[in-house]
Amino acid sequence: MSKKFVPSMVKDQQLIKKRREQIIKGAVRLFIAKGFHRTTTREIAKESGFSIGTLYEYIGTKEDVLYLVCDAIYDEVTERVRTQLHTTGTALERLITAIRAYFAVVDDMQEEVLVMYQETKSLPKETLPYVLKKELEMVEIMTELIAECVSEGELAISENESRQLSHNILVMGQMWTFRRWAVQKSQTIEAYTNQQIKQLLGAYLVKR
């Protein structure tokens, strides 16, 4: 599953990057307010700061915009978590740091994460597998860290359970956004993160 080629009439790669960043930012604001299907390309162009004609110099279809949005958000979430990964400390400490980093990114990018998950279903079927594969990159990060905890004797968990645990970590992070109307009423992200870490890892901790 390779990255989708999004057509552009412009050849300057730096300009393409700059304009598409504008398009992504404008589209996210509109998708948050109206959703993908109720947003027109004309509105995206206006929100991005240029004409409809200019917009089509950098994309082919409205679905291209959604693809660029989802791709960019997944990349930012993954990159921001990667920058927080530590090479020092025990394996368990590194795993907990990664979980905290992921939850913090989701908290900081709540609107973008909501857009990404609400609108992914609207992607064309040929691009959907590539975008979903990017979420599996985060699963792999967590799975590798869990494996290190097992190797160091800090967690007792099977290979199948560890992959399920990785998915659970992602889902619990996303719940902070998806169910914010309930879970954010009575606690901070720090309190929520601490509670989830206890529940997610507690059953697998090796007693010292």
pLDDT for 88 equals: 85
3-state secondary structure of 186: coil
pLDDT for 17 equals: 92
Percentage of residues in the chain with pLDDT exceeding 70? 99
Look at the block and give the residue holding tokens 């997610």. Answer: 200
| Res 45 pLDDT > 90 | yes
| Res 194 pLDDT > 90 | yes
Which residues, other chains included, contact 170 with Cβ-Cβ below 8 Å and sequence gap of 6+? 102, 135, 138, 139, 142
pLDDT for 12 equals: 92
| Res 174 pLDDT > 90 | yes
Q: Which of 109-118, 119-128, 199-208 has the highest mean pLDDT?
A: 199-208
pLDDT, tens digit (0-9, with 9 covering 90-100), for 102-117 = 999 999 999 888 888 8
Give the helix/strand (H/E) hosting 76: helix 62-82
pLDDT for 2 equals: 65
The fold of 63-202 is Tetracycline Repressor; domain 2 (1.10.357)
Q: Output b/e per residue, 138-153; b: 16+ Cβ within 10 A.
A: bbebbbebbbbbbeee
pLDDT for 4 equals: 76
pLDDT, tens digit (0-9, with 9 covering 90-100), for 150-159 = 999 999 999 9
**What mean pLDDT is reported for the chain?**
91
Given pLDDT bands bounded at 50, 70 and 90, which one contains residue 84?
Answer: confident
89: left (phi over 0), alpha (psi -120 to 50) or beta: left
Q: What angle do CA 59, 69, 183 make, to 5 degrees?
A: 160
> pTM of the full predicted structure?
0.86
With CA atoms as reference, report the closest residue to 205 among 130, 137, 136, 154.
154
Average pLDDT over residues 59-78: 90
| Res 23 pLDDT > 90 | yes
Average pLDDT over residues 130-155: 91
**Domain-by-domain residue ranges, the chain?**
63-202
